[in-house]
Amino acid sequence: MLHAVRKSRSVWLFAGIGIGLVIHALWADAPLEAVATDRYENFAIATGPLDNDVEALYFLDSATGDLMAAVLSTQTGQFNSFYKYNILNDLGVDPGKNPRFLIVTGVADIRRGSARLRPGRAIVYIAELTSGKVGAYAIPWARERHNAGQPFVGTFVPLDVTQMRVAAIREQ
């Protein structure tokens, strides 16, 4: 009997479907989130969620130190919220020394500030490779303003800067 079960394709098919249904039931409510990062020469780009159904596009210009973000309206499908902040002073970087940056996003539930403007879910981490410093930045987010389709221009909120590498890299 056990040998017949091992060879029966229909038994394995139904077992696979059953396991798939159990896995789906356990994780059906878990949202899928994808972030992306890329860079080319003096530019870096990343995405990260601001809310459950809204994400921001982050852009870093290494030549100027400008960190920028744009948010698509869920109503119009056009960019309607923009943010900008210069990170050079925070990281103690001299733009004339050819800084090298990395950018990634992470998710955090930081709930401080007024009830109307709280940090969005994505935290933007900027690392400067020659100094070894890393800064964390957030966007002040108001879901109600976004849902109303109100255009907005604002600035990033610097959260913290830390030293990740203690030995400085010398230029060669």
In this structure, are 130 and 102 located in the same domain? Answer: yes
Residue 80 lies in a domain: yes
Domain annotation covers residue 71: yes
What strands, in cross-sheet order, belong to the sheet with 157-163?
A: 101-107, 122-128, 133-138, 157-163
Q: Model's pTM, two decimal places?
A: 0.74
SS3 104: strand
Residue pair 93/101 in contact by the 8 Å Cβ criterion = no
Q: Confidence class of residue 97 from pLDDT cuts 50, 70 and 90?
A: confident
Mean pLDDT, all residues of the chain:
80
- Which comes out higher in pLDDT, residue 35 or 79? 79
Domain total of the chain = 2
Residues 26, 41 within the same domain: no
User: Does 54 share its domain with 135?
Assistant: yes
Q: Is residue 170 part of a domain?
A: no
Q: 108 or 155: whose pLDDT is higher?
A: 155
Q: Answer whether 49's CB lies under 8 Å from 55's CB.
A: yes
Q: Shortest CA distance to 54 belongs to which of 77, 37, 36?
A: 77
Asked if residue 85 has pLDDT above 90, the reply is yes
Considering the domain architecture, whether residues 84 and 26 belong to the same structural domain is answered as no
Q: What is the dihedral of CA 119, 123, 124, 130, to 10 degrees?
A: 120
pLDDT score recorded for residue 137: 96
Both tokens assigned to 59: 């852009």
Q: Does 86 share its domain with 52?
A: yes
Average pLDDT over residues 165-172: 62
pLDDT recorded at residue 74 = 87
Q: State the Cα torsion 129-139-60-88 to the nearest 10°.
A: -60
pLDDT at 132 over 70: yes
Contacts of 133 (CB under 8 A, 6+ apart): 91, 92, 93, 127, 161, 162, 163, 164
Check whether residue 96 and residue 149 sit in a common domain. Answer: yes
Residue 172: inside a domain: no
Q: Is residue 100 part of a domain?
A: yes
pLDDT band (50, 70, 90) for residue 6: low
Could you read off the pLDDT of 10-60 as tens digits, one per residue?
A: 666 666 665 655 554 555 454 545 566 776 788 899 999 988 889 999 999
Structure confidence at residue 124 (pLDDT): 95
Name the residue range of residue 23's domain: 1-30
Question: What percentage of the chain carries pLDDT values higher than 70?
Answer: 71
Q: Same domain for 144 and 116? A: yes
| pLDDT value of residue 32 | 45
The reply to whether 68 and 107 lie within a common domain is yes
